[in-house]
Amino acid sequence: MTEIITKTDDSTTGLYNKDFLLTWEKSLTNLETILSVAEDLKALRDNNISSRCFDSGLAISQFRDNSTRTRFSFSSAANLLGLAVQDLDEGKSQIAHGETVRETSAMISFLSDIIGIRDDMFLGAGNAYMREVGAALDEAFSDGVLPQRPGIINLQCDIDHPTQSMADLLHLKTVFGSLENLKGKKIAMTWAYSPSYGKPLSVPQGIIGLMTRLGMHVDLAFPEGYGLIPVVVDLAGKQAVESGGNFRVVNSMDDAFRDADIVYPKSWAPFHVMQRRTELLKKSDHDGLKGLEKECLANNAMYKNWECTEDKMKLTKKGQALYMHCLPADISGISCNEGEVAASVFERYRVPLYKQAGFKPYIIAAMMLTNRFEDPAAMLHSLADRKAKRIS
């Protein structure tokens, strides 16, 4: 067990009974606490010690978009702590019949501790929806309808993907030895070609919104016209200055890869495309969506050279940069004819990539635990002292 969290510091300020919606809304101390709790939970599991700190309760899973890793990570995290999981399937609920967000939020929360929401389809709406749910829960708790106010965890929205970026950060901390060792390291967050369109902006925004706070040198690279939400890019620049790091926006994948310690090539749809797509989705304009898809795929095809190849990896520091991806990656010759990454590069980093993904259940569990327990250190030590075996 690590001894990072203490009862006397302010590590849980901003975590206890607080929603986790954007990493940049939390202090660095908050984020370090999440990492520490995640490491402790992993240590308990690795040593066959039960970390069930709930005797009962629900973790509500609301996925408004498809998911594999995050969906299973949320369920695993809840189970790790002793919470049961209940999916909110909007198609099988009264939401389909016009039930309001205000009413739904109250009705699902009587015996709930955590609500995890993924809503990344509509630009300008996903994070706003989570806050609308939060306001409804505040009201229901204030009115005495709910015995407690469940915490909300952002499982990906239109702005940020905090469980992903925090899992990525824990992976980097593990690989490089400490957060301190990340200072001065260069990470290249780059667009990469994909034979699909409409991929959310939240992963690259999450990376630049988090890594610029750590004194790292962060390069954001994309072809002309493939920019992110401007306010997030501006925020990244300001954070880099404050942390003593550096932030650049470039239009060359090679330039971003050069001397990089870490590369993160990932496709996303341009900000202006997501704006248009959102309006078409709101209108249920299927013909318009088909036309936009055709236009965007043709535009993507102009940049097939934006692929993480062996030659591009040779540009990185000593040719040995850590390759990262949130998965699933578009692997050239495997999952598609031409894609984000060459098969040989992906295969070489496949095990580290799976380990990267494996931190997400612990990050989510840490967000759950710090939301519900005012003194997470005391809870973790009681679990360690109890030494209840997970498998007898």
Asked if 248 contacts 88 with a C-beta cutoff of 8 angstroms, the reply is: no
In a domain, 292, yes or no: yes
In a domain, 213, yes or no: yes
Q: Tell me, what amino acid is at 264? A: Y
Same domain, residue pair 31 and 150: yes
Residue with tokens 């389809």: 121
CA 36 – CA 15 distance, rounded (Å) = 13
In a domain, 170, yes or no: yes
In a domain, 93, yes or no: yes
Same domain, residue pair 169 and 301: yes
In a domain, 3, yes or no: no
Asked if 321 contacts 186 with a C-beta cutoff of 8 angstroms, the reply is: no
Same domain, residue pair 341 and 377: no
Long-range contacts of 344-353 (CB under 8 A, 24+ apart): 344/310, 345/308, 345/309, 345/310, 345/313, 348/323, 349/322, 349/323, 352/171, 352/175, 352/322, 352/323, 353/323, 353/324, 353/325, 353/327, 353/329
Q: Which of 197, 205, 324, 326 is nearest to 261 (CA)?
A: 324
Same domain, residue pair 340 and 229: yes
pLDDT of residue 281: 85
* CATH code, domain with 125: 3.40.50.1370
Find the DSSP H helices in the chain: 28-46, 69-81, 101-107, 126-142, 162-176, 202-211, 230-243, 253-257, 271-282, 286-300, 310-313, 343-348, 350-358, 360-372, 376-386
CA 23 – CA 165 distance, rounded (Å) = 8
Residue with tokens 């295969």: 347
Same domain, residue pair 292 and 320: yes
pLDDT of residue 4: 43
Same domain, residue pair 104 and 194: no
pLDDT tens, N- to C-terminus, the chain (392 residues): 555 444 434 566 789 999 999 999 999 999 999 999 999 999 999 999 999 999 999 999 999 888 889 999 999 999 999 999 999 987 767 776 678 999 999 999 999 999 999 999 889 999 999 999 999 999 999 999 999 999 999 999 999 999 999 999 999 999 999 999 999 999 999 999 999 987 999 999 999 999 999 999 999 999 999 999 999 999 999 999 999 999 999 999 999 999 999 999 999 999 998 899 889 988 999 999 999 999 999 999 999 999 999 999 999 999 999 999 999 999 999 999 999 999 999 999 999 999 999 999 999 999 999 999 999 999 999 999 999 999 98
In a domain, 348, yes or no: yes
Same domain, residue pair 35 and 143: yes
Residue 351 structural domain: 164-357
Same domain, residue pair 364 and 224: no
Tally of domains within the chain = 2
Same domain, residue pair 237 and 140: no
In a domain, 89, yes or no: yes
Give the bridge partners for 61, in sequence order. 87, 116
In a domain, 200, yes or no: yes
CA 207 – CA 4 distance, rounded (Å) = 24
Same domain, residue pair 290 and 271: yes
The alpha carbon of 289 is separated from its chain's Cα centroid by a whole number of angstroms, namely 27
Q: Which of 74, 144, 168, 166 is nearest to 114 (CA)?
A: 74
Same domain, residue pair 48 and 114: yes
Same domain, residue pair 326 and 223: yes
The alpha carbon of 162 is separated from its chain's Cα centroid by a whole number of angstroms, namely 4
